[in-house]
Amino acid sequence: MKNMITKMTLILFGIFLCVSASQADDTGQERERLQNREMIQAGIPDHDAENMDRMMIKNHFTHQNRIKARQIVMDAAKQGLPFQAVMNKAYEGVAKNAPDEAIVNAMEKIRHRYAYAYKKAQQITDDRQQIKRIGQSIVDSLKAGLSNEDGDRIMLALQQHTRQMNRSQAEDLAGESFQAAGTMARLGVDSALITDIACQAIQDNYSAEKMRQLKNRFRAEAMNTPPAIVAGQFRYSIQEGMMAGQLEAGHQYGGSGSNKGRDGHSAGDSGGSGNTGAIGSGGSGGPGAGGAIGSGSSGSSGGAGSIGTGSSGGAAGSGGSGAGGSGGAGGSGGTGGSKGPGSSKSKG
C-alpha cells in the first residue's frame, strides 16, 4: 500500500513539473511573440525581426539573451539610431562563433556608441541627414580608437569655433574633423595626439577643405614615415601656424629648418686629412637648434694634401664652413703631420 502511494505521489509530481514547464515555456513564447510585434511597431521591418529571431534560435541563444537582444534593437530604433548596425553586430558575432552573451554585450556597446555619436552631432545641427552623416563619422573614429573623452574635446572646440559660421560650414567642418581623426586613429596614432592636432587645426581657423587636405596629406606622409612620427610633426607644424598645404613630415621641430636640421646630424662625417700634413681642427656642421642649419667652423689649411669628403653635411676644411643641409667637401690637408679631429671619425 505504501509503495502504491509513493508511486502515485511521484507520478503526480512528475505531471506537475511537466505542466509547470509547459506553462513557463508557453509564457516565454508568448513574451517573444509580443516582443516581435513591438519590434515591428518600433519601425523594424517584420522580415528583419523574423530573420534575427530565427538566427538566434538556430544558434542556441538562451531565452533570456534573445529577449535582451530584441530589446537592444528596439531601443536603438526608438532612439532614431541605425538599428541595422546593431542587428549586424549579432550576425557578425554568430559568424565568429562568439558566445551568445558576448554577442548581446557587443550589440549594446554598438547601440551606446551610436547614441553618444548622434547626441554629439546634435550639438552642431538639427538636420536629421546631417546628424546621421556626422554621427557616422564620429562612430567610425571611435571604432578606430578615438576615446569618448577626446571626442568630447574635439566637439567642444568645434562648438566654440563654429559660432560665427553658417550651419552648412559648421556641419562640413565637424564631419571632416572626425574623418581626419578616424584616419589617424586607424593608422595607430594615440587618441590624445590626434585630438591635439584636430583641436589646434580648428582653433587655427581650418575650413572643412583644409581639414580634408590635412587628412589626405597625413595619409600620404604616413606611407613612408611611421604614422606616430608624422602626427608629432604635424602637431608641431600646426602650432607654428602652418596651413594644411604646407604640412609635411620634414617640418618637425624647426620651422624653416625642415629636413636640413635633421640631416645635420650626419654632417661632416669625415674631415679631410693630408698624407702627412696636419689639418687644422675643423668642426663639422651639426643640427642647429630647432632644425636650423648647422655650420662647421673653419680650420687652418696646410699645403697640398688629399681632400676629405663630407658624407652629408659640412666638414672641417681650409677656411670653409660646413652646412647642415647639403654635403660639403672637406678641406685640403697640409704636408707633414697627423689627422686633425673632425666632429666624427675621419678618413684619409
What is the rounded average pLDDT of the residues 233-253?
A: 71
Confidence class of residue 12 from pLDDT cuts 50, 70 and 90? Answer: low
Amino acid (1-letter code) at residue 15: I
- Scanning 122-252, the segments in alpha helix (DSSP H) are 128-144, 148-161, 167-186, 191-203, 208-221, 227-239
* pLDDT tens for each residue of 272-285: 443 433 333 334 44
Q: Hey, CA dihedral for 109, 111, 114, 120, is it positive or negative?
A: negative
Instruction: Indicate whether 20 pLDDT > 60.
Output: no
Among residues 217, 34, 68, which one has the least CA distance to residue 76? 68
- Residue 286's alpha-carbon distances to 57, 188, 315, in angstroms, are 71, 32, 10
Indicate the pTM of the whole model.
0.64
* pLDDT tens for each residue of 187-234: 999 999 999 999 999 999 999 999 999 999 999 999 999 999 999 999
Give me the pLDDT at residue 338, please: 39
Instruction: Indicate whether 130 pLDDT > 80.
Output: yes
* pLDDT tens for each residue of 131-160: 999 999 999 999 999 999 999 999 999 999
Amino acid (1-letter code) at residue 345: K
Confidence class of residue 7 from pLDDT cuts 50, 70 and 90? Answer: low
C-beta separation of 262 from 312 below 8 A? no
